[in-house]
Amino acid sequence: MKRGALKRALGIYWWVLLFFLYLPLAVVVLFSFNSINSAAIFESFSLRWYYRLLANDQIMSALWHSIVLAMSSSVIAVLLGTLIGYGLYRHRRRGLGWLIVLIYLPIVMPDIVFGIADMTFFVRINALTGWLAPGLGPMILSHVTFEIPFVALIVYSRFVGLDPTLFDAAKDLYASPVKRAWHFIVPAIKPALISAFFLSFTLSIDDFVISFFTSGPESSTLPIYIWGAIRKGVTPEINAIATLMIAAVIVAAIISLLVTRRRPQTPPEGR
Amino acid sequence: MPPSFEVSRRSLKWRETRHLLLTTAPGALWIVIFLVLPSLYLVSMAFMTNGPYGQPGMPLSLDAFRQLAGFGFLGWSPGNLYTLLRSIWQTIVATGLVVVLSYPIAYYITTCRASLRPIMLLAVVVPSWTNQVIRTFGWMNLLAPETPLSDAAQFLGLIPEHMGLFPSSFAVTLGLVYNFLPFMVLPLYAAFEKLDTTLIEAAIDLYASPMRAFWAAVFPQTLPGLLAGVVLVAVPAFGMYVVPELLGGGRSMMIGNLVAGQFTGASNWPYGAAAALLMLAATLIGIFLLRRLGKRAGGGEEVVI
């Protein structure tokens, strides 16, 4: 029974790996309920840090900035990225090499170079014209830039998975291009649009480096606030806010699992 | 009626081009304006001179590159060279560890019930959906002095008394492995799922040892997935900023920290821009080499990055 032994060893290894993956998150969650300000000794259960969180205006405004940034950048990125995805699909027989390179550029560009390039560029534009002062505006512009490729690729792969004769059917019915787009194309790719929106949203909430360099003093997002608190060594409420962010991710994961369960034909996506 | 046919064909072609422009131009222009132009500006900045207040300006010079190569007021120092080599070394070590850790897991998931697999994949990916600052903060808490892990390391004599496991190069490696492991599991899993098992049966029929059967019949089939994973892990690991900044000390600095330092603390934008160029060049060379390797290994099959 050598094969059985291998399978059992792999099974044990699986749980060890999961332990490794969830340990740092579990520590953050556990100590968010600590009654004293310590990351080493757990004294007793308390919701103290959560109350302090609600009273902390800086954290609340950082949360608000994170949500505004993720929402607005995802909406714009889904619009522009879907158009690109459709264009890529319709004209896939043409040589679109330059476009593919352009679309992959934000993905392969190291975050730090991306952030610094945008920061210096925005500072320069601001010095010349007075536009794009550091703040949420430039942050949205940057976030849209790195979200577009993911939307385009998701939408494109959805189109590839569709039956191409459906397009001709819509044309045969003499539908105008706008009507075709609204009544036929959008419903057909709706699952891809939803997952593209959620992926954009997650990417935006997850991003620290690019936000960090393009933000201004009045536009800190949650990761930027957390970063600052860690650097300053003042971290009591950090565990609590981090726990809420982890909880949000786990809820999102469960929703995505339920959605993909319902639609087994949707191709798997993700970074 | 050839003339009108000719006209309609031309108008059709124009309509197709117009369609292509209408759909792709807005997004493409967005990327050009907010990424390509800024990058070109950054490139040009590397050839400028640092002003008295840290802002770049004229005249054009190669000072930034001289400084990057290690020439300063006090003669040549190998600091930056070490930082570059350290970044490459950390990337190689972390990527290697990620491959070794992910390979059995990707295989294991394919052996489980089909209904369980999406849940297992999700379980691996979910930690990477949380913010990287939070994940790294979790490790800071775990590796700090007077925590069980640090105490155990002290007991084994691995670190001096009253010290934590961070800041250290070890902590940076750990952080990199932790951050990028899921990026390797996903493509490897896809490769294992497509595995043609008849090849393994053939190898066993030919009395190949399990080892031999693995290297001859399994490994080559998973290689394209593995190389795709290597690109997904190595590229962001090389450019990592958060992990070495929080988990590493001054002696575990990576090139991302060198770049960022010139724009946050010690303002020297041309110098930082030159370092960013070096980083970008190294990244592109790495991707190019991996793609060539992938094409050779995959027998012409394109490795998607």
**Coil, strand, or helix at residue A25?**
helix
What's the whole-number average pLDDT of chain A? 87
Annotated domain spans of chain B? 5-64, 71-302
pLDDT of residue B303: 43
Q: pLDDT, tens digit, for every residue of B184-206?
A: 999 999 989 888 888 888 888 88
Question: Per the CB < 8 Å rule, is A108 touching B283?
Answer: yes
pLDDT at B120: 93
Contacts of B276 in chain A (CB under 8 A): 112-113, 116-117
B176 within 8 A of B237, measured Cβ to Cβ: yes
Report ipTM for this prediction: 0.89
Compute the distance between CA of residue B32 and CA of residue A152 in angstroms, rounded to an integer.
16
Q: Does residue A193 fall inside a structural domain?
A: yes
CA dist., res. B160 & res. B152, Å (int)? 11
CA angle (A127, B68, B32) in 5-degree steps: 45
Lowest mean pLDDT among A10-14, A129-133, A262-266: A262-266
Average pLDDT of chain B, as a whole number: 85
pLDDT tens, position by position, A125-164: 998 888 888 889 999 999 999 999 999 999 999 888 887 7
Residues in chain B: 305
Q: Is the model more confident about A24 or about A236? A: A24
Contact criterion met (CB < 8 Å) for A105 and B36: yes
Question: How far A28 CA lies from chain B's nearest CA (Å)?
Answer: 6
What is the predicted pLDDT for the residue at B184?
A: 94
Whether residue B111 is predicted with pLDDT greater than 70 in this model: the reply is: yes
Measured distance CA(A106)–CA(A143) in Å, rounded: 10
B20, B24, B41: residue with CB nearest A117? B41
Lowest mean pLDDT among A188-192, B30-34, B153-157: B153-157
pLDDT of residue B101: 96
In a domain, residue A226? The reply is yes
> B71-302, what's its fold?
MetI-like fold (1.10.3720)
Cβ distance A106 to B141 less than 8 Å, yes or no, reads no
In a domain, A23, yes or no: no
Whether B236 and A105 lie within 8 Å, measured CB to CB? no
What stretch of H or E contains B284?
A: helix B269-297
Q: What is the pLDDT at residue A262?
A: 62
Contact check, Cβ <8 Å, B241/A18: no
Q: What number is the average pLDDT over the span B255-275?
A: 86
A191 in any annotated domain: yes
Distance between B151 CA and the closest CA of chain A, angstroms: 11
pLDDT confidence tier of residue B2, bands split at 50, 70 and 90: low
What pLDDT band is residue A266 in, cutting at 50, 70 and 90? very low
What CATH code is carried by the domain that includes residue A231?
Answer: 1.10.3720.10
User: What count of Cα atoms within 13 Å lies in the side-chain half-sphere of residue A209?
Assistant: 24
Q: Looking at residue A265, what is its pLDDT?
A: 47
State residue A267's pLDDT score. Answer: 46
Min Cα–Cα distance to chain A from B129, Å: 7
Are the CB atoms for A134 and A124 separated by under 8 Å? no
Q: How far apart are CA B161 and CA B300, in angstroms?
A: 55
Q: Does A196 fall in a domain?
A: yes
pLDDT for B73 equals 67
Three-state SS across A120-132?
HHHHHHHHHHCCC
Scanning every residue of chain B, which has its alpha carbon at the shortest distance from the alpha carbon of A143?
B34
Domains contained in chain A, number: 1
pLDDT tens-digit profile of A214-245?
Answer: 998 888 999 999 999 998 887 778 899 999 99
Please answer whether residues B110 and A10 qualify as being in contact, where contact means their C-beta atoms are separated by less than 8 angstroms. Answer: no
- Please, which residues bridge with residue B57 across strands? B49
The confidence score (pLDDT) of residue A95 equals 78
Element (H, E) at B133: helix B132-143
Would residue B35 be called left, alpha or beta, if left means φ above 0 and alpha means ψ between -120 and 50 degrees?
alpha
- Residues B194 and B111 sit within 8 Å (Cβ to Cβ): no
In DSSP terms, A34 is beta-bridged to: A45
Is pLDDT at B305 greater than 60 in this prediction? no
> What confidence tier does A204 reach under pLDDT thresholds 50, 70, 90?
very high
Among B81, B77, B46, B75, CA closest to B63: B46
pLDDT of residue A176: 76
pTM: 0.88
Cα distance from A241 to chain B (closest Cα, Å)?
10
Structural domain that includes position A221: 56-262
φ, ψ for residue A110 (rounded to 5)?
-60, 135
Q: What is the pLDDT of residue B276?
A: 93
User: A39 and B35: CB-CB below 8 Å?
Assistant: no
